[in-house]
């Protein structure tokens, strides 16, 4: 009887522990914290390799935050709080279908390492502010949420084969000038020693809080916002 009771107690403790682990590690966040998952090197992708090689149902297993695109360079992708959005050339976001594919994406599980309150900054001022507070030899995930006096974004039209290089493809981009919006910008900083592997410097995509507009961020003026940064400690590059 004592042995049986002890075994019941051990099993109960194990179930409780496994339940706690499941709650503490949703979708593997702890295991993948501070790990950047990248599909395709940027210089290969930007040469015209726009055919999708991974579907979004697989991509979402590697992070809840990030940026990328869709098969054929069909607009911009932004992942925020585990939801993946497509911002096509119309500039109107929609939730990505898990069956859609991507030729290029960078994602991570976002965890805050640094937080700042910022105000009255244009895009150049914002980048200078980050340069002063961050190391120039580390990859960072960056999230900015707040009020934007203005923001200029873009999104390209879907390309047809044979695919052009990125400079020619972006001649089809549609520009959007947003004013007085509440929005979140999502993206990454890559140091200069990773040139070609990814886009060096700051690369951000934006989506408004009402999900009515967004795209690749070209310029902005921030009225006031919370700026959060996650230092990346590990980097996984997948070559399709």
Q: What is the pLDDT of residue 8?
A: 38
Q: What is the pLDDT of residue 3?
A: 39
Spelled out in words, what is the top-level CATH class assigned to the domain 34-240?
Answer: alpha beta
Q: Identify the DSSP state of 15.
A: H
What pTM was computed for the model? Answer: 0.87
Cα end-to-end distance, the chain, whole Å: 59
Domain ranges of the chain: 1-32, 34-240
Helix (H) or strand (E) holding 191: none
Residue 48 exposure: Cα atoms within 13 Å on the Cβ side? 7
In the prediction, which pLDDT does 33 show? 78
Closest CA to 52 of 161, 156, 170, 175: 161
Output Rg (C-alpha) for the chain, integer angstroms.
20
What does pLDDT average to in each consecutive run of 10 residues of the chain (240 residues)? Answer: 40 36 42 88 98 98 98 98 98 98 98 98 98 97 98 98 98 98 98 96 98 98 98 96
Phi then psi dihedrals of residue 200, to 5 deg: -75, 140
pLDDT (0 to 100) of residue 15 = 34
Sort 37 into a burial class: Cβ within 10 Å, 0-12 / 13-18 / 19+: buried
């Amino acid at each position: 009887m004592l042995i049986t009771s002890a075994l019941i107690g051990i099993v109960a403790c194990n179930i409780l522990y496994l339940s706690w682990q499941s709650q503490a590690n949703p979708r593997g966040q702890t295991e993948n914290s501070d790990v950047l998952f990248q599909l395709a090197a940027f210089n290969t992708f930007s040469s015209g390799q726009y055919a999708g090689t991974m579907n979004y149902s697989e991509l979402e297993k590697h992070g809840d935050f990030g940026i990328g695109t869709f098969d054929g360079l069909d607009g911009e992708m932004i992942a925020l709080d585990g939801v993946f959005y497509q911002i096509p050339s119309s500039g109107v976001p929609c939730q990505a279908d898990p069956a859609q594919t991507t030729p290029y994406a960078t994602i991570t599980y976002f965890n805050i390492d640094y937080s700042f309150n910022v105000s009255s900054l244009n895009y150049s001022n914002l980048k200078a502010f980050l340069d002063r507070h961050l190391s120039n030899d580390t990859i960072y995930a960056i999230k900015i949420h707040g009020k934007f006096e203005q923001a200029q974004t873009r999104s390209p039209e879907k390309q047809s084969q044979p695919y052009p290089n990125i400079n020619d493809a972006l001649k089809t981009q549609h520009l959007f000038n947003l004013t007085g919006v509440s929005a979140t910008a999502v993206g990454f900083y890559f140091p200069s020693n990773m040139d070609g592997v990814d886009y060096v410097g700051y690369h951000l995509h934006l989506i408004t809080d009402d999900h009515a507009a967004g795209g690749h961020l070209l310029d902005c003026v921030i009225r006031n916002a919370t700026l959060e940064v996650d230092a990346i400690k590990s980097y996984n590059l997948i070559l399709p």
